[in-house]
Amino acid sequence: MSNWQLVFSSLSVFLLTTTACFAGAYEDFFQALERDDEAVVVGLLRRGMDVDSVDPDGNTPLMLAARTGRRQMLETLLRNKANILKINKYNDSALMLAALRGHGEIVESLVSKGADINPLGWTPLIYAAFEGRTSIARFLLEEGADVDAKSPNGTTALMAATRNAHLETVEMLVEEGADLEAKNQQGQTAMDLATVAGHTNIAKILIRAKESRP
């Protein structure tokens, strides 16, 4: 065997071994995240694992920690320079997932670290309103969230809360000046959605709000 053949053979073995090790570390990393095993996660990060590695849906470890409400893991990932602005293949960020699942402390932590409160498309506020997370929605508004931001299909936070009959959230959004006349792509206002769904209590709130505004 020539010297070049020996070099090529050695290089091939090295690459195969490295690939196998990387694949094993990747699996260990995401399994440790699922178990909330901070020691293993930190150990793999110190060995060179990318803190912004993604699962098949494009979720980073930070997104997974935010979605499941694992505050300590989230803080560990942030200390290791996790990218707070990453989005998955559904265009969801860590902040959006935390708002949707109702993890208020994580929402506050992410916002304090510079998470995008007003991304294009679906927003953390709309997600919070969709699930009736009133305290989170109020916090986001206090931090500068656009109360009338629209999703790609024209849904606003008020429409989302109305559709799912979240009375308290609707009241809060109305108090914060949400646009009562905004329309989605089907030309429906929040009032239209309340009427169609038979949410009479919400319809009364919207009627009173409309009558009281200049």
Helices first, then strands: H and E counts in the chain: 12, 0
What are the structural domain ranges in the chain?
1-90, 117-214
Helix, strand, coil: what percent of the chain each, to 5? 60, 0, 40
At a CB cut-off of 8 Å and minimum separation 6, what does 50 contact?
A: none
Percentage, residues of the chain above pLDDT 70: 89
User: What's the pLDDT tens digit per position in 104-121?
Assistant: 999 999 999 999 999 999
Q: What tokens appear for 187 in the block?
A: 């030309």
What does the pLDDT read at residue 5?
44
What does the pLDDT read at residue 20?
37
User: What's the pLDDT tens digit per position in 177-194?
Assistant: 999 999 999 999 999 999
What does the pLDDT read at residue 23?
52
At a CB cut-off of 8 Å and minimum separation 6, what does 204 contact?
A: none
Hey, what CATH class is 1-90 in?
A: mainly alpha
- Give the C-alpha separation, 213 to 180, whole Å: 10
The ranges of the chain with pLDDT < 50 are 1-22
Q: Do domains 1-90 and 117-214 have the same CATH topology?
A: yes
Hey, what CATH class is 117-214 in?
A: mainly alpha
The total of other beta-carbon atoms located within 10 Å of residue 24's CB is 10
- Give the C-alpha separation, 174 to 114, whole Å: 27
- Give the C-alpha separation, 212 to 214, whole Å: 7
Q: What tokens appear for 118 in the block?
A: 């007003």
Question: Distance of alpha carbon 84 from its chain centroid, rounded?
Answer: 10
